[in-house]
């Protein structure tokens, strides 16, 4: 049955930035599909952990400063293996955004955003891929791109650069890891109602301009991304590699 291809029973998934918003929805979706979940964030994850546990899945909670990706990645993956027995799925969801005009964009903002949004996914993916190769059963790595992987945007030079980099890194990883039966793809969310987008939604003029361009006529919700992450994490997407799956209500088609 085709629906069996979407089941994740017996799999272990890591989701970064899992305390709230999109990351929380990814974690719950993967748990609903059958996976045990490792939650990673720098803020409390009690709510997400409780929802995963309520689904009858095992959960481990790892508090980590993801700005130090190169330092923490190997140990983080090792701890997941210790607690849950392996790693089959990695969702590099954690990310930050700093809004500042290009000519004023500070070195700190640039380095902070590139560090968490691009460098940390690289180091976590590297450590997770080594574990997946050692396990010998393949795996799925899902990066989080953006509409700004395709567009320039305004006032977010570090974010735009990081998400363009994620798109290219996803394709490179697909090229190198496919021989190990590891599929690497990305999700590019559109305008989703989260804490990161609150300043835009609270600006009446900017908010309306965005709504006017989205064919769906509304902001996306974190729940709108749940099916995408399950698909890319499951055997149903085994012949997809290096792809960026856009979930944007039609924004890029406008």
Instruction: Give the residues across from 15 on adjacent strands.
Output: 39, 91
Give percent of the chain with pLDDT exceeding 90: 97
How many angstroms separate the CA atoms of 220 and 246, rounded? Answer: 12
The reply to whether 159 belongs to the active site is yes
Give the pLDDT mean for 178-191: 98
Specify the pLDDT at position 196.
Answer: 82
Compute CA 99 distance to the chain's CA centroid, rounded to the nearest angstrom: 20
pLDDT at 221: 97
Q: Which CATH architecture group holds 2-253?
A: 3-Layer(aba) Sandwich (3.40)
- For residue 237, CA distances in Å to 27, 160, 193, 234 come to 18, 27, 27, 6
Q: What is the pLDDT of residue 233?
A: 99
Q: Write out pLDDT tens, residues 196-209.
A: 889 899 999 999 99
pLDDT of residue 189 exceeding 90, the answer is yes
pLDDT at 170: 98
Positive or negative, the Cα torsion across 124, 145, 15, 201? Answer: positive
Q: Which of 26, 159, 191, 239 is catalytic?
A: 159
CA distance 89 to 14: 6
Among 31-45, 123-137, 187-201, 216-230, which is the least confidently predicted range? 187-201
pLDDT of residue 220: 97
Q: Give me the residue spans of the domains in the chain.
A: 2-253
Strand order in the sheet with 12-16: 59-63, 36-41, 12-16, 89-92, 139-144, 182-189, 244-247
Beta bridge partners of 12: 36
Q: What is the mean pLDDT of the chain?
A: 97
CA 38 to CA 84: how far, in whole Å? 8
pLDDT value at residue 203: 94
Rounded to whole angstroms, how far apart are CA atoms 52 and 230?
A: 15
Angle at which helices 120-135 and 69-84 cross, to 10°: 40
Neighbours of 173 (CB within 10 A): 24
First CA to last CA across the chain, in angstroms?
A: 36
- pLDDT, one tens digit per residue, over 124-183 is 999 999 999 999 999 999 999 999 999 999 999 999 999 999 999 999 999 999 999 999
The predicted structure's pLDDT at residue 231:
98
Q: What is the pLDDT of residue 45?
A: 98
| Residues 85-118 pLDDT 10s | 999 999 999 999 999 999 999 999 999 999 999 9
Strand 36-41 with 244-247, pairing? unpaired
**Percent of the chain scoring above 70 in pLDDT:** 100
Three-class SS state of 13: strand
Bridge partners of residue 60, in order along the sequence: 38
Confidence at residue 195, expressed as pLDDT on a 0 to 100 scale? 86
């Amino acid at each position: 049955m085709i629906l069996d291809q979407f089941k994740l029973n017996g799999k272990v998934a890591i989701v970064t930035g899992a305390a709230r918003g999109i990351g929380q929805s990814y974690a719950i979706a993967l748990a609903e599909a059958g996976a045990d979940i490792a939650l990673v964030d720098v803020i409390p994850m009690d709510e997400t952990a409780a929802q995963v546990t309520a689904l009858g899945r095992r959960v481990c909670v790892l508090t980590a400063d993801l700005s130090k990706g190169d330092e923490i990645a190997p140990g983080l993956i090792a701890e997941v293996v210790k607690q849950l027995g392996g790693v089959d799925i990695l969702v590099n969801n954690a990310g930050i955004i700093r809004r500042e005009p290009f000519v004023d964009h500070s070195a700190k903002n640039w380095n902070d955003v590139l560090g968490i949004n691009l460098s940390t996914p690289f180091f976590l993916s590297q450590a997770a891929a080594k574990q997946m190769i050692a396990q010998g059963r393949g795996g799925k790595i899902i990066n989080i791109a953006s509409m700004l992987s395709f567009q320039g945007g305004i006032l977010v030079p570090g974010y735009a650069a990081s998400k363009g980099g994620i798109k290219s890194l996803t394709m490179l990883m697909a090229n190198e890891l496919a021989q190990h039966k590891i599929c690497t793809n990305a999700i590019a969310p559109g305008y989703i109602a989260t804490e990161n987008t609150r300043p835009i939604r609270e600006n009446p003029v900017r908010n309306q301009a965005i709504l006017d361009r989205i064919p769906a006529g509304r902001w996306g919700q974190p729940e709108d991304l749940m099916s995408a992450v399950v698909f890319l994490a499951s055997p149903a997407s085994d012949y997809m590699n290096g792809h960026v799956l856009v979930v944007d209500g039609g924004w890029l088609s406008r």
